[in-house]
Amino acid sequence: MRKARRWFSRNLIRIYAVMGFTYLFIPVLYTFAFSFNNSSKSNLVWRGFTFNNWKNPCGAPDVCNALGNSIKIGLIATAIATVLGTMIAFALGRYAFKGRSLVNLLIFLPMATPELVLGASLLTMFLNFGFNPGFVTIVIAHVMFCISFVVVTVKARIASLDPRLEQAAMDLYADERETFRRITFPLLAPGIAGAALLAFSLSFDDFIITNFNSGNVNTFPKFVYISAERGLPAQANVIGSAMFFIALIVVLLGQVVQRRRKVS
């Protein structure tokens, strides 16, 4: 009993970690497994193993159209939110001005507001201004809530920079533009890239705000929600699994690059 208690106390954190990761990855494993299901209409029951779903991921009606819309919206919203959010982060992190605390509060509001309230409020605003819900309104809505996450991420990176590096560059006769191009931006690039990836994942994954402001435009989360009652087609599982593996590869590549930089 003493040996068992000692072993349990020493490995308690590992046990919790295994249980936590198991809980998190069971849905991923289920999605990946049923992407090989030989189903026709419903994908709720296992009917046999096949590679046909991976060979033809657009076999289900409208699935690739919804995926294309999500990727387009995500890329546009990410580009706009990253540029605007980075500039706001610079203003908040480097300069003191009147209303700075109020701006910080306003930046956190979209992150703290429930998506249901946010989506309904945006829909009311668009209708009052005469905008019909569609592709443009989705992009505007996604930019609005993605900016907050970009600002927080980039601002944290700015706060961690050593100002003496920029001062040293200016002491060596570099002007402000050259200092930004050669010192500041390369140091901020990992934070900006991380903010962009976070913004894209939030935009691609969003359903509630998109559902309020999309009109007839179909996105991949909407497609999944609509198809869930009758069983997702296996092609949707293929796309979901592929997106997971792409994200995993991006994260692993980022870790490899960071380790090489530390070594060098």
Are residues 111 and 1 part of one domain?
A: no
Structure-block tokens of residue 13: 């954190």
Nearest one of 76, 77, 81, 93 to 188, comparing CA atoms: 93
Are residues 73 and 40 part of one domain?
A: no
Encode 127-141: b = buried (16+ Cβ within 10 Å), e = exposed: eeeeeebebbbbbbb
User: Please, which residues have CB within 8 angstroms of residue 118's CB and are 6 or more apart in sequence?
Assistant: 110, 145, 209
Are residues 143 and 54 part of one domain?
A: no
Three-class SS state of 101:
helix
What's the mean pLDDT in 114-136?
Answer: 90
Q: What distance in Å separates the CA atoms of residue 216 and residue 222, rounded to the nearest whole number?
A: 11
For residue 65, what is the domain's CATH number?
Answer: 1.10.3720.10
Are residues 72 and 48 part of one domain?
A: no
The structural domain count of the chain equals 2
Asked whether the beta carbons of 142 and 80 are under 8 A apart, the reply is: no
What's the mean pLDDT in 161-178?
Answer: 80
pLDDT for residue 111: 86
Give residue 68's identity as a one-letter amino acid code.
Answer: G
Nearest one of 225, 218, 224 to 240, comparing CA atoms: 224
User: Please, which residues have CB within 8 angstroms of residue 56's CB and are 6 or more apart in sequence?
Assistant: 235
Q: Which of 159-163, 165-169, 222-226 has the highest mean pLDDT?
A: 222-226
pLDDT band at 264 (very low <50, low <70, confident <90, very high): low
Q: What distance in Å separates the CA atoms of residue 87 and residue 94, rounded to the nearest whole number?
A: 11
**Mean pLDDT for the chain overall:** 87
Give residue 218's identity as a one-letter amino acid code.
Answer: N
pLDDT for residue 227: 82
pLDDT digits (tens, 9 = 90+) for 99-110: 888 888 888 888
pLDDT for residue 65: 92
Are residues 264 and 168 part of one domain?
A: no
pLDDT for residue 110: 84
Are residues 178 and 49 part of one domain?
A: no
Structure-block tokens of residue 227: 């198809």
pLDDT digits (tens, 9 = 90+) for 36-65: 988 766 777 788 888 888 988 888 888 899
pLDDT digits (tens, 9 = 90+) for 179-200: 888 888 888 888 899 899 999 9
Nearest one of 7, 8, 28, 14 to 244, comparing CA atoms: 28
Are residues 69 and 47 part of one domain?
A: no
Neighbours of 188 (CB within 10 A): 20
User: Please, which residues have CB within 8 angstroms of residue 241's CB and are 6 or more apart in sequence?
Assistant: 28, 31, 32, 35
pLDDT for residue 259: 80
Are residues 190 and 121 part of one domain?
A: yes
pLDDT for residue 256: 84
Range of the structural domain that residue 159 is part of: 61-232
pLDDT for residue 34: 87
pLDDT digits (tens, 9 = 90+) for 215-235: 889 999 999 888 877 677 888
pLDDT for residue 69: 94
Are residues 65 and 51 part of one domain?
A: no
CA 58 to chain centre: 24
Asked whether the beta carbons of 198 and 214 are under 8 A apart, the reply is: no
- Region of residue 66 (left: phi > 0; alpha: psi -120 to 50; beta: else): alpha
Are residues 172 and 128 part of one domain?
A: yes
pLDDT band at 150 (very low <50, low <70, confident <90, very high): very high
Asked whether the beta carbons of 115 and 209 are under 8 A apart, the reply is: yes
CA 53 to chain centre: 26
Are residues 50 and 139 part of one domain?
A: no
Are residues 108 and 21 part of one domain?
A: no
